[in-house]
Each structure stands twice: as C-alpha cells, then as structure tokens.
Structure 1
Amino acid sequence: MTTTLEAPAVHTGPAPAAPANRRWRKRFTRAVHGSAAVVLFVALWELVPRFVLDESTRTFLPPLSEDLRALVDLALDGELEDHLLASIGRSAAGFAIAVGVAVPIGLLIGWYRPVARFLQPLLELARNTAALALLPVFTLLLGIGELSKVTLVVYACVWPVLLNTIAGVNTVDPLLVKAARSLGLSSPRLFRKVILPSAVPTVFTGIRMAASYSILVLVAAEMVGAKAGLGYLINTSQVNFQIQQMYAGIIAVSVLGVIVNQGFVVLERRFSTWRPKEKP
C-alpha cells in the first residue's frame, strides 16, 4: 500500500493587506484619542450653557454656536481681518527681531564659557522678570504706539530662544566635537557641521515657545492704548457688553496660536531631516 504526499499549496497572489490595515487602525485610534478631549470640551461649551446654566449666567457664557456665529459675522464684515492683520504684523515683527538677536547671542554664550559665566547672573535676573510687569515701563518710555508693543514682544520672545539656544549648544556630545576637531575641521565648519545640527531641536523648541509668547503678550498689550488688534477687539467687546464678539476674539487668538505652533512643528521637521523618524 503506497501513500501519496501532496505538496502544500503555494500562494502567488498579492501579499495580505493586514499590516497596512493595522497601521491605519493604529493611526485612527491615535487621532481619536488625541481629539477626544477637544471634542468633549466643545460639547460641554455648547450643552452646559443651553441646558444647565440659568438665563443670567448664560448671558456671560453663551453657547459655542453663538460665539462661532459672531466670529463668522466679524469675518464677513472684514473687521476680524483688520484686527488679525494688525496683531500678526506686530507679533511677527517682534518675533523676528527676537530670533535674529537671540540665536547668535545664544550660540556665542553657549560656546564660550567665560562669556556665559559673566552674563549668567544678569540673564537669571532678566528672564525672571515678567514681560507684562514691564508694560507700564515700555508705555512710559516709548508711548502707547506701535513701538512699545513691538518692543514688549521682543523682550518676551528673546528669553525662550536665548536660553534654549544656550542649552542646545551645551548639550552637544563632547565626543562629536573632539572627533570633528581631530579631523581638522575649522571653527566655522565645526559650527555648521556639528554644533548647529545638534542644537537645532532645542533651538526650535525655544522658537516655538517664543511664537506663542509673541501672540499672548501682544494680546495683553493691545488692551492698553491700541486702536486695532485681537486684544483691542476682546477688550472693547467686553466693555461694550458684546459677549459673543468677546468670545469670538478669544477663539481667534486660540486658532491663530495653534496654526503658528503647527507651522513651526513642520518647519522643525524640515530642518531636522537627519533625525530618525518616529514609528507610527
């Protein structure tokens, strides 16, 4: 009696799509988890004023839909655009000046230890002085015009960029520096090839923090002596008891901050292409 063994079937078709589906499900799950808190906050903002608060309290905390309707009305009237452009112009000017000044100084202080030791006490004193605490000083010295507001933004933005640039230079691996020097790299090439690439992530962290500060500090400054800007819109709406417009201005500030932050996240990835990518 003979037994015949059959060869196992060989599948020559395309590979199963299970790994791709798992990756898609994982990304979808992460997106749901990441947005769940925001969705819950939005739902509470809409439902609590409608069904929980009484009429008098609802006047000061209207549902989100009414605030969004006021935001759309401001956008259609062109008023939101005027205030938005005024705020963006001031914050961008102050932010650009702060980055242009703080990054070179931070590289200098981080690289030359004697300079760092000499300036450390002054830096500690200045960085612990809140920018808004100096608003009256800037207003007295520079007036209530554009110069005082831009200068306040510069002061607020300098410190996160400066301190993170110093930290980025100080955290460069000393072995990399010694290896580069042993290969005969000059100081300019050492900075370009070793110091700057290693310090980029930390520097961009400071830049992202400064971008947020430029908006927040400016909004507070625009509530004093301004004729346009998101801070002026919020303050004027509150004084005139236009509560929906006040919240619309607050929403506009929040959205602007998120857009600016995400823009700098993309920019950081563009300048940090050498870093390993995170697994999805």
Structure 2
Amino acid sequence: MTGHSRRVRQWLVPIALLGAWQLAVMVNDGLNVLPTPTEIGRALTESLIDGRLAADAAHTFAAALASWAICLLIGIPLGMALGTFSTLRTMLSLLIELLRPLPAVALIPPAVLVFGFSWKTEITVTVFASIWPLISSSRAAIEGLHARIFEVAATLHLSKWHTLRSVVTPAAFSQILVGARLSFSLCLVVSVVAEMVGNPAGLGWGLVSAQEAMRASETFAYLFAIGVLGVCANFALGFAVRRLLPGLAQAS
C-alpha cells in the first residue's frame, strides 16, 4: 500500500461518519437538538474570523506548555533521585502512594480556595495530574539500568556527578522521553478540564460558555478545536523528537 492510498483510507471513515451524521440529523426530527456538521463548520469559521477561538486556543496551549515545563523541571530530577537513592525512596514512598491516586479534579476546590479562579489554579491542577508519568518513567529508567554501567563508571574513576551527567542520563533518556510525551498529552487534557471549572479562560471555558448559552454549533466547534489542538501539538512534539533525537525517537 502506497503512502497516498494509506492517507486516503485514513480519511474514509471520518468522512463517512460526518455524512451519516448530516443525514441522520436532517431526516430525524428527534435529533434536531444536534447541529449538523455544516452548521458546526460555519460556527467554527465564525469563531476563527472574530478571533475568539484563536485566543482561547493560545491560552490553553500556553497553560499546558507552562505546566509541562514545570513537570519536566520537577518530575525528571525527582524520579531519577528516587531511582538512585533508596533512603529517599523510603522516605517519600508513603506520600507518593497517598497523592498519586487522587483525581486531579478533586484538587480544584482547594486550589480555588487558595488561588481563586485564576491561571494559578489551572497550572497547579495540571501539574499535579501530569507529573506522575515523568516521575514514574524517570525512576523506572534509573532502576532498569544494568549494574555493569555503574561498574564501568567506577573503573574509569568517574565522579558521581560525571556518572549521572555523562553515563546515567543518556542511557535512561529514551524511557524518560516516553513519560515526557505522556505528560504533555495529560497537560493539554487537564488544562481544558481546569478551565471548565477553575479558570474562566481558554478552550475549556469557551466550551462551557457555549453550552450554557445553548449554542450547540459553537459547543461542537470548540470540541472539535480541542481535538485538533491535541493532534497538532502531539504531531509537533513527535516531529521535534524525530528531527532532534532520531535515535531516541525510535527507541521510544
């Protein structure tokens, strides 16, 4: 199968579903509460023209990116430390097991009490939900390294810092990269959820506002925009990894 025919086949099912949706709403009066795909497309175009959708998408993406940066700065060093030092692992194991199962939405009420309905609430909730894959993958990457790596480093009389920087980190990076990509996807999802409840801005708030105003076409337009943003962001991240770190991209 050629690349062109594969791409064509990928679009067959979505196009067929849109056609069936359009036809079902037009012929069934019981479904008239649903907008047709053409009405959604019109609402999407109008939102793009007046700039609201672009501004909301920019806010959501910026919040997700900022949250991801915080996750990277905290999650990777913490996970690597947990995988390296058994004493630290013992000290923090109970706290981690208590916090990790908590759903992110449960943190929204206390975050609102502390920060109000603001971007701080959104960032806090998003980081809390998205940091765990990074901690887990970084810890597992360190724990999964072969003991011979450390034996070679000791034979070469490398310091602990040199061993960590030049030996351990490159060997563990491909597995850490998997956690980083999962964390980025979670940042986008949780940012939208946090905007629905804890921060009146972005795509999440736009979706809720359209629903409360009973603007069905705009509601589905925002839903479509959220999906497109996720696909584009994931594609951009994958492209960057393939261009900058081709060997690691294949390993992940």
Cα shift at 1:88: 1.9
> Which structure 2 residue ranges, 5 or more long, are not aligned?
none
1:215 pairs, out of 188, 202, 211, with 188
1:152 pairs, out of 105, 117, 125, with 125
If each structure's helix is expressed as a fraction of its own residues, which one has the higher value?
Answer: 2
Equivalence for 2:31: 57
Equivalence for 2:163: 190
Letter in 2 for 1:215: L
RMSD between aligned residues? 2.4
1:129 aligns with 2:98: no
Cα shift at 1:235: 0.6
1:118 aligns with 2:88: no
Equivalence for 1:3: none
Contact 1:46 1:63 in 2 (8 A): no
Larger Rg: 1
Equivalence for 2:134: 161
Structure 1 residues 44 and 96 mapped into 2: Cα distance closer, same or farther (>3 Å)?
A: same
Higher relative contact order (CA 8 A, sep 6+): 2
- Give the whole-Å Cα distance in 2 for the aligned partners of 1:169 and 1:39: 44
Structure 1 residues 58 and 170 mapped into 2: Cα distance closer, same or farther (>3 Å)?
A: farther
Q: Deviations over 1:57-77 (max 9, x none)?
A: 1432x3333323321221111
Structure 1 residues 224 and 163 mapped into 2: Cα distance closer, same or farther (>3 Å)?
A: same
Q: Deviations over 1:104-163 (max 9, x none)?
A: 111111111221122122212211111112111111222112211111111112211111
- Give the whole-Å Cα distance in 2 for the aligned partners of 1:96 and 1:118: 26
- Give the whole-Å Cα distance in 1 for the aligned partners of 2:244 and 2:104: 30
Cα shift at 1:253: 1.0
205-214 vs 263-272, which moves further: 263-272
Q: Deviations over 1:174-217 (max 9, x none)?
A: 22222232222222222222211121122111111111111211
- Give the whole-Å Cα distance in 1 for the aligned partners of 2:14 and 2:157: 57
- Give the whole-Å Cα distance in 2 for the aligned partners of 1:109 and 1:65: 53
Equivalence for 1:257: 230
- Give the whole-Å Cα distance in 2 for the aligned partners of 1:247 and 1:275: 38
Counterparts of residues 223-262 of structure 1 (less than 5 Å): 223-224=196-197, 226-262=199-235
> Which structure 1 residue ranges, 5 or more long, are not aligned?
1-24
Cα shift at 1:228: 2.4
Percent identity between matched residues is 26
1:175 aligns with 2:148: yes
- TM-score by length of structure 1 reads 0.80
SS in 2 for 1:129: coil
- Give the whole-Å Cα distance in 1 for the aligned partners of 2:17 and 2:108: 36
- Give the whole-Å Cα distance in 2 for the aligned partners of 1:184 and 1:269: 34
